[in-house]
A = this chain, B = another copy of it.
Amino acid sequence: MTIRFQASANLQHPGRGGGEASHLSHAPAELLIRKLESIGALSPAERAALRRLEMTPVSVDAHHDIVCEGASPTAVTLLLHGFLCRYKLVADGKRQIMSFHIPGDIPDLPTLFLDVTDFNVCSLTSSQLAVIPHSALLALFAEQRQLAYLFWRNTLIDAAVFREWIVGIGRRSAFVRIAHLFCEMIVRMQAVGLSSNYSVELPLTQTDIADALGLSTVHVNRTLQEIRAAGLIKFFRGRLIAIDWPGLRKAGEFEQVYLHVQKAAASVPPAR
């Protein structure tokens, strides 16, 4: 595992591509605050407490495991920049991805109350993280009880996304599943200010998509061509653009409720 600890909190990001990346040129705490405000309200005292939260910046290369199944970590990781995913391997070596993570997410938050981790977290791209000790989080919650509830809510939304994925993998066709995933990522990115005009950075390979949706890469490739041919999206070089957002939503049978996004500014306007 190649984790490079950084001497200082020098976390300026290159800001490749869309203008939305500039939003992230803030301190780690600000990103966490923005994330939490996308799912609930924060009082000034809570914001202040969050700014005092102990965080250690870390960089990781692409395709490296950050958390491993069976481990018992004593800290959680806030994703600052890049993309992560949770996954498990099954008996015959097949991989199932169970979530994608974008800046503001804390994929291993469950380890705060689950002694043994039951999934792996790995980086899809080179990423910047902030490590927050469990003890620091618990101290924060002791001081600001409502914040504990907001983090709890965060994990509940996580679970709501799992439910929606179960529905997709269990009962929807490949075409609908892929369209749905794209809708989900666009709305989530938008909620933390990482999207402009239904265009998001999304550096997923077709293999990643296949492993997330329970499909083969070959089938993902062909279905992706169909979705493109239908004029719904452009998807290349790690960038997803919804050319026809209402059409994509419809194709993906996408109902945003389950994401429980609060922020008015963050929610996607209704189709048409």
A158 on interface, CB distance cutoff 8 Å: yes
A158 proximity list for chain B (CB < 8 A): 159
Most buried by B among A118, A165, A211, A257: A118
Q: Would you call the interface of chain A mostly helix, strand, loop, or mixed?
A: helix
Tell me the complex Cα distance, A94–B169, Å: 13
Task: Known A155-B159, A165-B166; judge A257-B171 contact (CB<8 A).
Answer: no
A214 on interface, CB distance cutoff 8 Å: yes
Q: Which residues, 97 to 116 on A, are CB-close (under 8 Å) to B?
A: 98, 110, 113-116
Tell me the complex Cα distance, A98–B116, Å: 23
Q: Are A113 and B162 in contact (CB under 8 A)?
A: no
A165 proximity list for chain B (CB < 8 A): 166
User: What 9 A-B pairs are tightest by C-beta distance, nearest first?
Assistant: A170-B214, A162-B162, A159-B159, A118-B258, A113-B153, A96-B167, A96-B170, A94-B171, A96-B171
Task: Known A155-B156, A171-B96, A214-B171; judge A163-B91 contact (CB<8 A).
Answer: no
A229 on interface, CB distance cutoff 8 Å: no
Which residues of chain A have a CB within 8 Å of any CB of chain B? Answer: 70, 86, 88, 90-91, 94-96, 98, 110, 113-116, 118-119, 142, 145, 148-149, 152-153, 155-160, 162-167, 169-172, 211, 213-214, 253, 257-258, 260
Tell me the complex Cα distance, A165–B165, Å: 10
- Identify the closest chain B residue to A86 (Cβ): B163
CB distance from A91 to the nearest CB of B (A): 5
Of B142, B170, B253, which contacts A169 at CB under 8 A? B170
A-B contact pairs, 13 of them (CB 8 A): A90-B167, A90-B171, A96-B170, A96-B171, A115-B260, A116-B260, A118-B260, A159-B162, A162-B166, A165-B166, A169-B169, A170-B211, A171-B214
- Identify the closest chain B residue to A258 (Cβ): B118
Tell me the complex Cα distance, A162–B160, Å: 9
Most buried by B among A165, A166, A169: A166
Tell me the complex Cα distance, A156–B156, Å: 8
Given contacts A110-B159, A142-B145, A148-B148, 18 further A-B contacts (CB under 8 A): A88-B163, A90-B253, A91-B253, A94-B171, A96-B170, A98-B163, A98-B167, A113-B152, A113-B153, A113-B156, A116-B260, A118-B164, A118-B260, A148-B152, A152-B155, A162-B166, A169-B169, A169-B214
